[in-house]
Amino acid sequence: MLNRQRGVSLVELMIAMVLGLLVSAIVIGMFSSTVGSTRQAITTIRLNQELRTVMDLMVRDLRRSGFWNSGGAAASNPYASITDAGAPVAVYAAAGAGNYLNSAVAGASGQCVILGYDSDSAGASVATRLIGYRLDTNDEAVEGLWTDTFVAPAHCNMGSWSNLTDEQTVRVTNLSFTPDPSPASFAVATVRNLTITLEAESRSDSRIKTRITDQVRVRNDL
């Protein structure tokens, strides 16, 4: 006796194909969304890490401004007046500025800072290390200066500077140094404080932005 075999009808086959396509579209969409979110997260992490590295570098150097590894009198410290402000650290309005900001003006801030300290702890009688950080508005990057060849008093419009941030991947939109307008004084010492603000965005995705602010006290009060 012959048994009748019944297969899948054309309508059923088409329905199955449509359902399969829908499932595939959902899976592909979820995969694309996951890849996009992962890429955005990685870009954000890299941006944060790059800015934090630069900020930590600036904070470390500013805290050591004026350090001199010598038993000599403070008046003999060659870093005490290394800048044209007559201090171990000075803030300037912009990269090419030759005149320092008046820190007594409330809210005054600049895009460049110059400082010096005895980085090799040699205790030499003359200043041997000049350091600077500033905003490069052309490359939209943070620039750094480290040199042992300079003429004091120093200012922001001197020396050979190099980019610290990658101008190909990071766009630095703001770098500002704001001196404390009313430093506390006691005896012959002056406590110097600076607020550093660093802002940047990713060049591959301008929606990814980061802002870091740090307050720094110059520990080597003179």
Query: What is the spatial distance between Cα 200 and Cα 19, in angstroms, rounded to a whole number?
Result: 46
Question: Strand 112-116 relative to strand 162-163: parallel, antiparallel, unpaired?
Answer: unpaired
Q: What is the mean pLDDT, run by run of 10 residues, along the chain of 222 residues?
A: 63 78 80 72 91 96 88 76 82 76 67 88 78 94 90 82 94 92 46 87 93 87 57
Query: What is the spatial distance between Cα 216 and Cα 145, in angstroms, rounded to a whole number?
Result: 19
The residues, ordered by sequence, that sit 6+ positions from 144 with a Cβ below 8 Å of its Cβ are 57, 131, 132, 133, 161, 162, 163, 164
Question: Strand 170-179 relative to strand 162-163: parallel, antiparallel, unpaired?
Answer: unpaired
What is the amino acid identity at position 130? L
* pTM exceeding 0.85: no
